[in-house]
Amino acid sequence: MTARMNKHIGIIGAGFAGMAAALELHDLGFKVTVLEARDRVGGRVWSTTLSNDEIVELGGEWIKGRDNQVLGMIDRLGLSKAEVGVNFLERKVIVGEPVSKDEQEGAHDIAEKTLASMNKDDIKSRSIGEFINALPLNEPQKIFFYSRLQTSFGIDLNKVALRMIEDMDGNSPRQTANYRGGSYFRVASGNMSIAQAIADKLDDVRLGHEAILAEQKQKSVTIRGKTSDGPFQLELDAVVFAIPVNLLADIEFVPALPNPIKNAINSVTMGTAAKITAATKERPTLRAYHDSETPYWCWTGRGGDSNVRKVITAFCGSATPREKLGLNSNDPNIWFKELKSMNPDLDFEGDAIMVDWSREKWTQGCYSAFSNEATDNIPYLKKSVESIFFAGEHTAFNSATMDGAIESGLRAANQVYKEFR
Ligand SMILES: Cc1cc2nc3c(=O)[nH]c(=O)nc-3n(C[C@H](O)[C@H](O)[C@H](O)COP(=O)(O)OP(=O)(O)OC[C@H]3O[C@@H](n4cnc5c(N)ncnc54)[C@H](O)[C@@H]3O)c2cc1C
């Protein structure tokens, strides 16, 4: 028996980051306990089944053909993927001035060339909002490009560092340029199957367990928290915190985390996003429609059997569309009506399901957003403190994605392994 087999590692949070860390440590021979506040695993990846049996994603959905961490995990777990058949980046503008495919691609080209010609100090001081506003694009092109990026980032683009445009796959002019024409996937049985399949391999996943305090002792950590039955306490050799960055700021660490780490955590903000999804009576045609004014977008896609699924899903991000789409009043019928008028060819079945991720207690936002100050602090987000380690999408190069979450979990597991091997 190796030394590490006697070591007990706690993972706080059963999202993709925590579950990837748990699987890796379990396979390396550690004793692993996962503590999850919700009554399900998956975190911001949440698949459900509609009345017509279609599996839909209420959270993380699009897997790019070069999201190697997610694709690798799908293979590792023996799951099947479905190719969506729709390009995330190429949209038909239904509300707002039309922008042709060439103009959409042209906006990327211009952004990419402009970024490449800027000096590093200039890039370091700018926001994405300032950058796009200064690009030589025609007005409809600019409005479309701005609204598409702001929707994806989930926050006012004036608050996001220009450096993040290089860091976010799918939103980056540079990286997008490489990816144009690429394929997109979902897990055929729902993206949440990744977390579920990992949970099935683990011995100890405790749902309904909220961690509140972590006390670092000599070479061990005590976690205190609560369940619906009352408080709990667990003694561990090490702990990986894999919870959203805004909720990490509420955890009490004893002794307190070093200031640079605390400041880094506090400097990251969360964007806001929501999704709505509804069953259709017939198979719709493939589509990716965009409303540049509200803004939001919607799409259909293929399932594991290659047929177009009888479902349409829409996404909105940032505070701008919230009032118009009924998110402030939490009324799904307002957005559903908009969705119907954007897709007059479709007949719907049953009610729509809407999830506003700002209202989800264990997320309170959609994903991390980095200002220039927060971007400077990035190296501190993945630093360990004695036996406390950190994972989560906000600690990854591809932050705000499922791919980044898995990458971060595997990286944290490797840090733990190096400590105890
Ligand atoms: C609407 C939406 C759409 C998205 N679309 C895409 C997409 O198309 N493609 C893509 O790649 N990514 C997408 N993402 C992003 C992606 O889903 C996330 O980046 C990723 O799932 C985050 O994983 P994580 O493990 O870091 O965090 P989470 O999934 O949030 O996991 C953290 C877990 O910690 C738990 N927790 C919180 N506090 C505590 C506590 N105190 N004690 C115990 N447990 C706690 C939470 O309940 C949660 O289960 C989307 C996200 C949202 C919200």
Tens of pLDDT, residues 189-226: 999 999 999 999 999 999 999 999 999 998 899 999 99
Query: Residue 209 domain-assigned?
Result: yes
* Tens-digit pLDDT profile for residues 11-58: 999 999 999 999 999 999 999 999 999 999 999 999 999 999 999 999
- Domain assignment present for residue 362? The answer is no
List pLDDT tens digits, range 82-114: 999 999 989 999 999 999 999 998 998 898 889
Q: How far is CA 141 from CA 32, 104, 105, 150, in A?
A: 51, 7, 10, 14
Up-side HSE of residue 401: CA atoms within 13 Å toward CB? 22
pLDDT tens-digit readout, 119-152: 889 999 999 999 999 999 999 999 999 999 999 9
Both 187 and 292 in one domain: the answer is: yes
Task: Tell whether 71 and 187 lie within a shared domain.
Answer: yes
Q: ∠ at Cα 240 (234, 246), nearest 5°?
A: 105
Residue 169 has pLDDT above 70, yes or no: no
Domain count, the chain: 3
Residue 17 lies in a domain: yes
- Ligand 1 centre from 51 Cα, in Å? 25
β-bridge partners, 230: 227
Do 103 and 141 lie in one domain? The reply is yes
Query: Does the residue 31 lie in any domain?
Result: yes
Q: Return d(Cα 293, Cα 390) in angstroms, integer.
A: 39
Which of 151, 179, 207 finishes a domain? 179
Q: Does 403 contact ligand 1 (Cβ within 6 A)? A: yes
Q: Is 62 in the pocket of ligand 1 (CB under 6 A)?
A: yes
Residue-level pLDDT at 120: 86
Instruction: Tell whether 56 and 204 lie within a shared domain.
Output: no
CA of 100 to the centre of ligand 1 (A): 34
pTM over 0.85, yes/no: yes
Q: Is 55 left (phi over 0), alpha (psi -120 to 50) or beta?
A: beta
pLDDT of 171 above 90: no
Which numbered atom of ligand 1 lies nearest the CA of 393?
Answer: 26
- My answer on whether 352 and 392 are in the same domain is no
Q: Assess whether 345 and 401 both reside in one domain.
A: no
**Residues 101 and 174 grouped into a single domain:** yes
Measured from the Cα of 391, ligand 1's closest atom is 26
Distance from the CA of 346 to the center of ligand 1, in angstroms?
Answer: 31
pLDDT at residue 108, as a whole number? 86
Ligand 1 closest atom vs CA 67: 11
**pLDDT tens, position by position, 287-320:** 999 999 999 999 999 999 999 999 999 999 999 9
Q: For residue 364, is it within any domain?
A: no
Tell me which of 243, 246, 250, 296 to substitute to probe ligand 1's pocket, judged by most ligand atoms within 8 Å of the beta carbon: 243
Return the best residue to mutate from 236, 402, 410 for the ligand 1 pocket (most ligand atoms within 8 A of CB): 402
- The residue whose CA is least distant from atom 35 of ligand 1 is 13
Task: Determine the distance separating the centroid of ligand 1 and the alpha carbon of 366, expressed in angstroms.
Answer: 8
Rounded distance from Cα 44 to ligand 1 centre (Å) = 3
Q: Which is the closest atom of ligand 1 to the Cα of 275?
A: 1
Q: Which atom of ligand 1 is nearest to the CA of 368?
A: 19
Domain termination residue (choose one: 140, 158, 179): 179
Atom of ligand 1 nearest to the CA of 35: 43
Work out the number of other CB atoms within 10 angstroms of the CB of residue 379. Answer: 10
- Give me the domain span that covers residue 205: 3-44+192-269+371-420
Residues 249 and 380 in one domain: yes
Give the whole-angstrom CA distance, residue 388 versus residue 237.
9
Does a structural domain hold residue 366? Answer: no
User: Which residue, 119, 147, 179, sits at the end of a domain?
Assistant: 179
Query: What mean pLDDT do residues 159-171 have?
Result: 73
Q: Both 174 and 62 in a single domain?
A: no
Is 68 found in the same domain as 30? no
Q: Is 12 in the pocket of ligand 1 (CB under 6 A)?
A: yes
Q: What is the mean pLDDT of the chain?
A: 94
Please say if the pLDDT value at position 1 is more than 70. no
Q: Find the CATH number of the domain harbouring 223.
A: 3.50.50.60
Say whether pLDDT at 71 is over 60.
Answer: yes
SS3 category, 167:
helix
- What integer pLDDT is reported at residue 4 of this predicted model? 66
Q: Is 37 touching ligand 1 by the criterion CB < 6 Å?
A: yes
Question: Same structural domain for residues 282 and 187?
Answer: yes
CB neighbourhood size of 210 (10 A): 18
Ligand 1 neighbour 362 (Cβ under 6 A): yes
In the block, tokens 């683009």 appear at 157
What confidence score (pLDDT) does residue 180 get? 64
pLDDT higher than 70, residue 177:
no
Identify whether residues 264 and 382 lie together within a single domain. Answer: yes
Residue type, 43: G
Provide the pLDDT for residue 3. Answer: 58
The answer to whether the CB of 401 is under 6 A from ligand 1 is: yes
Cβ of residue 363 lying under 6 Å from some atom of ligand 1: yes
User: Is 365 contained in some domain?
Assistant: no
Q: Is residue 406 part of a domain?
A: yes
